[in-house]
Structure 1
Amino acid sequence: MCEQRFGFRVQEYGLREVFRRIPDHPALAGLDEDLLKNWRGEATNTAPRLTYEERPYPLIFPTIVNAGVVVTRPWRCGNRGNVASALIEKPACGDFMSLVDGGYSLQYSPLMEYREGKGVVLFCQMDVTGRTERDPAADRLARNILAYVHAFKPTARRSLVYAGDPAGLKHLQSAGFAVEPYVKGALTGDRVLVVSSGGGAALAPDKAAIAAWLGQDGRMIALGLDADEANTFMPIAVSMKSSEHIGSFFDHPPWNSPFAGIGPADVHNREPRNFSLITGKANILGDGVLGFADNGRVIFCQMVPWQFSTKQQNTRRTFRRTSALLTRVLGNLGVQSQTSLLERFSKPVTSIAGQSPEKPRMNAFYLDTLEEWDDPYRFFGW
């Protein structure tokens, strides 16, 4: 259902261990890492054996259709101990927050929270039901989810104002954001200012007004700026250095952080290059690829998704992760990305854009086209 009706990319690959992305989220209360692995009995939500198809040469290995793409898949030998059997790839569009993640590069989330308007939807792909034996951790998780949804209260929403690289504007619009261009006097307390390379020149004359706006609870995101450009319009003199970034580590950001739902895997760079990494006058995550200042009112993200090509396999993965990262940061600040998710609850697949179940809408929540070699499990068994 998640794949055919909604358009998620779903990986049917059983995980016996998953990881908390937001440990202090109410849905995970009382559950540590040791309780999110090797659950009792077998999961029965998926068959213990895959249904394989034979294809002509050169596909000499067993194949399946995964997310609408024909891929090879080695043999599967049961579901014992599974905690999640059908995994949703983290979307790049929509206000989705990953509460639990796992799988290759931690790019899948079996427990996600989606917000739209004043409501919330929790997608639980964890195998909490349909088990041959009950597990106390699975029961606790199910109770937590119901209690959280029952007590949910919506948060304030903000709109987005943008200044900078036209490629950034195109990316944000493709991700479903309603974007207003920056003009003098456009900043009010319910807006988020997003600035990318080239935006400093337009903002520099309004430096004093921007400082006053931030003092009135405004929010700003700086994307891939160097120190010289950032300091032309920011009220804080942040320091940076140009240095190579491949990967970094930082602890789980808390639930109320602008980086909630984001982890080190989201800033893994598969094509080593130099970035302007933050070194001072800000709270730094990892090696300086992320940071915030002014009590969380100013956010820095030095990896920008549109700088990574989708034509190469390695950079395409980085593009996906940084796209999801940027959408998540904006969601944490109250900016919603519009999707057709709620419409798809009530309408069959065939009634939307004339597409049939044989052609699932796999680009509904993603900004690139899935290819065969993008499947990380095409040569792995479990």
Structure 2
Amino acid sequence: MPDRLKTRLIAQALSEGFVSCRICRPWDVPEVPERLAAFVEAGYHGQMGWMAERMNWRGDPAALWPEAKSVIMLAESYTPDEDPMEVIGQPDRGAISVYARNRDYHDMVKKRLKRLARWLIAESGGEVKVFVDTAPVPEKALGQAAGLGWQGKHTNLVSRDWGNWAFLGSVFTTLDLEPDAPDVDHCGSCRACLDACPTDAFPAPYQLDARRCISYLTIEHHGPVDEELRGLMGNRIYGCDDCLAACPWNKFAVAASDMRYAARPELTAPRLAELAALDDAAFRQMFSGSPIKRIGRDRFVRNVLYAIGNSGDPTLRDVAAALSNDPDTAVADAARWAVQQLD
């Protein structure tokens, strides 16, 4: 009976749009506490204080919900239709990470997880809790323990079946489901992802210093970015796809099943001049329903101004100069820096 339930569960997950469904135990990641403690002790988490504050849960999924006996790990593909690196060669345009060019994946993945969880309860009872990446759950470690893939040298999950363009979600349950075998590392001697990083954010393979990561700098970092790093950010204004795009396992990438992950045309290569002109109301309207909305207008325009400073385009000088006295000090600082760069 349990085997038949698991078979039907996997079939149901695939019908919901997930590309893979595997199972592990909450306690199958004993290495996480030590790795997390080392990450925080080195200061690699930067301003993400919540990582240090919730280490007991993030380091031990069994502590998050002690009654849980199984973790159903799921992957949902968001493979881009276009080459995400093409916009990097257009300095007057902004590069937005593939996952953020349309609807907020948190809402979409969570709705799928909830439908799958309701199906499971209807089929076999038990209790469930669903998590995307807003909860203190070590999804990537659990994903490897469940056999979804392995954590590559860029620290993201990689699969021989679907590459590394995927969101991860989990369903914790009190049901005792048969676990899958963990995956093993297939990176070999490849270091394409490490060499692709514009800011050299990997102190060593499998280690990430978030303080140098463009995704962190453009999304999580408050205030001005160190001048040493600004010039390395290029025109990346929200997130960074360089290490993901470089992974050779993407030759097996699976197309996204939900069209709402397809890029909105206006976010594929938006003009920096137009983005810099956004006030708070226009920013909120433009990014309604987008994950970009959560960083707010000020941080977003700060990022745009760094891109303008890196553009080498003198026609953008006046755009930057117009914001040199912006009420937000980080925006004003970025504007003055951009003007200096263009001068």
Q: TM-score range by the shorter chain?
A: under 0.3
**Which one has a larger percent strand, Structure 1 or Structure 2?**
1
